[in-house]
Amino acid sequence: MSGLEAMPKYEAYKDSGIGWLGAVPCHWSNVPLCSKTTLTSVTNCIDRELLSVYLNQGVIRFADVTEKRTNVTSLDLSKYQAVNAGDFVLNNQQAWRGSVGVSNYEGIVSPAYLILKLSSDLNPHFANYYFRDGSMVSQYLICSKGVGTIQRNLYWPQLKRVKIFIPPLQEQTTIANFLDKKTAQIDEAVTIKQKQIELLKERKQILIQKAVTQGLDPNVPLRDSGVDWIGEIPEHWNVKKLRYLGITQNGISAGAEYFGSGFPFVSYGDVYKNRQLPIEVKGLAKSTINDRKQYSIQENDVLFTRTSETIEEIGFASICMKTISESTFAGFLIRFRPTNKLFKGFSKYYFNSGMMREYFVKEMNLVIRASLSQELLKNLPVLLPPLEEQEQIFNYLESVSTKIEQSIETHEQQIKNLKEYKTTLINSAVTGKIKVPNIN
């Protein structure tokens, strides 16, 4: 994408008189919002015949103000408002967060929206870019009243006085067409980067699964593991159920008064979000000496998420690479403390391989909440290469994972840069900071 500084500017500018806006092209109109829009929001404006039409169509669409299409689930539509394609719609409680836009289709919205009909000399396509731009969104905040950031109400008497600077109609069309093409190119580039990230993540999982199930020697003789979802393994490796490799322990359960101060406490989030436990955890608990003995976290321990709303969040593992002194762990977790047959680095990758997710999801029974029992965990088959080989596998996976993660971070930064460029490009075009070319 070319830099904005290289794009042409208008021949002459004038001071807008608005600090955040700065200079605008001399020929652009300076008018209040109400001169280019008309408030059409009226409650009880939809008659039974119109409602019947909407209902018979099967889908009652909200105006596209958040780039999401939502079906109405309530049957009480007596106060809903009709929206026509090309209407400017604002959520009067969330407009200051950017919940605004020009509708692409006909439908209805709740009374929580302001509906503005655009004048004939305002291109709806240009208006959608203009009114969703950050500079305009900041004006919605100024025109909103409320306490805090939960709910702020936008009022038309204040909004209608907001000054807008807009070019002639033909120029609006030129800007809208230009932005359509350029933003589509940016969105396509972002999509490509996102797909590349997914491919990198898939490659990482493939490398992990292959290493922890078949080792690093491509010529090693293989044998059937006896476990369908594992397949063949090196013939010199062993397979044992987890119950024979250590002991399991559920975490501590206590009331709210137990937490917030005291000694280190490993939470559900510490495990769910990290494949390796943080050296320093943020949680605190008023644990006793006995608690800290029974629910301790030592080097080589493996913690599993035990309970959640969905099966997909069960069985995530986090490995303790270094003892967390004086700590305890949450009741929503299971601690597995292995014998000396498992190297901590191998555990980090083995218990987080893709096949582990398949095992837990397949074996789990969901009633009200998904819950991983110690018995199910103890039945988990564990592959056991010689300890020296486990360490070699760990070192290899650390190396390739680091490279892949660095590549993912690079792509994520590129996506961030592209999105920032898109935002800046739109702002520069709709405020006249750049003069866009005609696009046929």
> Could you tell me which residue, 30 or 43, shows the higher pLDDT?
30
Residue 296's pLDDT band, with cuts at 50, 70 and 90, is: very high
Statement: residue 35 has pLDDT above 50: yes
Task: Flag whether 112 is in a domain.
Answer: yes
Residue 69's pLDDT band, with cuts at 50, 70 and 90, is: very low
Amino acid sitting at position 53: V
Helix spans in 215-343 (H): 268-272, 289-294
Please provide residue 193's backbone torsions phi and psi, each rounded to the nearest 5 degrees.
-65, -40
Statement: residue 47 has pLDDT above 60: no
Task: Flag whether 253 is in a domain.
Answer: yes
Amino acid sitting at position 197: I
Q: What is the pLDDT of residue 71?
A: 43
Statement: residue 10 has pLDDT above 70: yes
Task: Flag whether 430 is in a domain.
Answer: no
Is there a single domain that holds both residue 162 and residue 243?
no
Task: Flag whether 397 is in a domain.
Answer: no
116, 140, 166 — which closes off a domain?
A: 166
Percent of the chain with pLDDT over 70: 88
| CA count, 13 A, side-chain hemisphere, 392 | 10
User: Structural domain of residue 57, as residue ranges?
Assistant: 29-166
Q: CA-CA distance, 165 to 161, in Å (whole number)?
A: 13
Q: How many domains does the chain have?
A: 2
Mean pLDDT, residues 16-45: 85
DSSP category for residue 129: H
136, 166, 196 — which closes off a domain?
A: 166
Percent of the chain with pLDDT over 90: 63
Q: What is the pLDDT of residue 440?
A: 63
Is there a single domain that holds both residue 153 and residue 286?
no
Q: What is the pLDDT of residue 148?
A: 61
Q: What is the pLDDT of residue 406?
A: 97
166, 201, 230 — which closes off a domain?
A: 166
Q: CA-CA distance, 434 to 136, in Å (whole number)?
A: 18
Which tokens belong to 65?
């103000």
Write the CATH number for 358: 3.90.220.20
Task: Flag whether 314 is in a domain.
Answer: yes
Residue 4's pLDDT band, with cuts at 50, 70 and 90, is: confident
Is there a single domain that holds both residue 39 and residue 153?
yes
Residues 206-260: tens digit of each pLDDT: 999 999 999 999 999 999 999 988 999 999 999 999 999 999 999 999 898 999 9
Long-range contacts of 275-281 (CB under 8 A, 24+ apart): 275/317, 275/318, 275/319, 275/348, 275/352, 276/318, 276/319, 276/321, 276/348, 277/303, 277/318, 277/319, 277/320, 277/321, 277/324, 279/322, 279/324, 280/324, 281/324, 281/327
Backbone dihedral region for residue 231 (phi beyond 0: left; psi -120 to 50: alpha; all else: beta) = left
Residues linked to residue 223 through DSSP beta bridges, in sequence order = 233
Single pTM value for the model: 0.81
Residues 396-410: tens digit of each pLDDT: 999 999 999 999 999
